[in-house]
Structure 1
């Protein structure tokens, strides 16, 4: 079984292959329109067969797209993550263009090897040199550069909107309101006002960027999606089955704690403090749909969001890091590594009936605190 992170990465790579495949197919049709009935390329003299090209070029484009997608998701997006939008587009596009030109040169060499003439160095290099010194190569390189730019804009907008959001807009999944059963986690930084006052607004914002970046890894690993950032608060969501599977919604919280603890030296060195957080979880039916005209957004509405926020607001009162609703507690199947206990019935603001709230703690953390 693939991990949630691997599934997400595969889903992010596939559109690169699809885009390159479509543009390569368009190129084949344009090439046929330009060359007409010619049986060779005027610039290189290499044989031209439309029937072969209409298969080979899109397949090569698909492969190239998948390769660039793997490079983008696995490496380049991480290397350039702290660059501005424009610099990321320019730097990465330049690197991809170099890779594609090398790929083109290699393809031309392989094509020359298949020619019936003698395979001398001159006979192999001549078609490559003739192609890259011909005006036709300029048009092809510009066409490829446009593909790279389109894929880069796709990658950056997809990253900005969040996983799956851009495809949901394209497919119109939420064009009409849809009801879904979802788990929501409202995660809030502890003592954020005091931290902001001590650090100052600029350094606090820098810390917030590092904090959200570090926590995002656990969201990916445990199949969650980041619904919104609100100040120092992160709202995470799961479809009910995804959140319950392997206790993803609970494991995510404790994975976040482990991630921050592993970065203690970094935060203390940069900001003189290690941020901590608290969270509240609840599940229920929500309505999801597109909203807005000047700025479109996919939003969720329903009592479950307000209730999750109210539960998180009780964390300080009960001196707890993680609180969940009675409804969610009943359907969780937690292993012995976790301890769940009731903190009592509470009348949450906006509700007519009381709700029993439960705290969840990791047994190893609990035993360490008792020993100390």
Structure 2
């Protein structure tokens, strides 16, 4: 795939191709199922593939590429949820009917009953697909995948990097802008930093107020010192849109962050609402390190544990901060301030 695509675009395109592949398999299977004899099975499977790819390709393109926060059609996402669902139902049903009853069919025409069943089946599969995409977007695709596969049904220990990123001065910005515009400001910051996080293979664990928590397994984070690079790439993404933020909100966003590595317990919790959560001292330590940046006068701090695994970084300058005493923690932790080399 062309290198000019961004990490998020590549992720979306891979998802699109997977949806096309799955839909083709479902379409072929359905075409064989409704075939009335051996001769029509091949034509039925081919017709099923064509119909499924046309339907899934059209609807997936709308869901994945058009209806996004960073697209020109993002205003459609601001309408009430019921209105959005109703509009999607009408548009997607029209696509299904147009494809199933249209001229793209291969082989003999379907009888009225089979055509009606095919339309109903296609709409049902489309509904499942849209609901799945919506659920995955709400909790994150990796979390959704892990919940579906039951990866953390039984808790397990993992060594993970945690990057706690805080928006500098957000309280003062909120007081000046008011609650609604402050929310829009933070939403714009989170949207602008999504691309560098994806490029560094980070997983957004949660948004907490004005804070983003990004995580990597030790294996995923080690190549190219991804957690370190992620912070500076996030700052660069915001700097590239500084004029836009200044014009709209009267402020240019900046970030402070802390990175730590350690063992956490990962597992599913909850009954009415399932979630995958992390428990362990590494979370508390990373959070307290982030708070310590204010007292230490640095924007980015990383523990010695994290830096030892990530190894030397050619384009970064490390300032040894010694043993840093953290609030609520008896033992100090060795850490360094991190800055880009001029």
**Which of the five TM-score ranges fits, normalised by the shorter chain?**
0.7 to 0.9
* In structure 1, C-alpha distance between the alignment counterparts of 2:219 and 2:9, rounded to whole Å: 18
Per-residue CA deviation, residues 228-282 of structure 1 (Å, 9 max, x unaligned), is: 1111111100111221211211111111111111111221122111121200000
| Contact persistence 1:19–1:151 (CA under 8 A) | no
Q: 2:41: which partner in 1?
A: 51
Q: Of residues 291, 311, 319 in structure 1, which corresponds to 2:269? A: 291
CA distance, structure 2, for counterparts of residue 5 and residue 76 of structure 1: 14
Q: Normalization by structure 1: what TM-score? A: 0.78
CA distance in 2, matches of 1:61, 1:19: 13
Task: Report deviation, 1:101.
Answer: 5.1
Superposition RMSD in Å: 3.0
TM-aligned CA distance change 1:269 to 1:58, over 3 Å = same
- Alignment match, 2:211: 233
Contact 1:268 1:274 in 2 (8 A): yes
Q: 1:317 Cα shift?
A: 1.1
Deviation of 1:50 (Å): 4.4
1:254 to 2:257 alignment: no
Q: Where in structure 1 are there 5+ consecutive unaligned residues?
A: 40-47, 113-126, 365-372
The 5 A counterparts of 1:262-277 are: 262-277=240-255
Alignment deviations for residues 13-67 of structure 1 (CA, whole Å, 9 cap, x no partner): 35524653564356346524xxxx5x6xxxxxxxx83431564355446644466
Structure number with larger C-alpha Rg: 1
| 1:317 equivalenced with 2:314 (yes/no) | no
8 A Cα contact 2:28 2:49, kept in partner: no
Distance 1:243 1:166 in 2: 21
Partner residue of 1:278? 256
- Given that 1:80 and 1:88 are in contact with CA atoms closer than 8 Å, whether structure 2 keeps it comes out as no
1:61–1:243 CA distance, 2 compared to 1 (3 A): farther
Alignment: residue pair count: 332
Matches within 5 A, 1:180-219: 180-219=158-197
Any residues of structure 2 matched to 1:21-60 within 5 Å, and which? 21=24, 23-24=26-27, 27-28=30-31, 31-32=34-35, 37=36, 49-53=39-43, 55-57=45-47, 59-60=49-50
Shift of 1:135: 6.2
Query: Which of residues 303, 306, 312 is equivalent to 2:281?
Result: 303
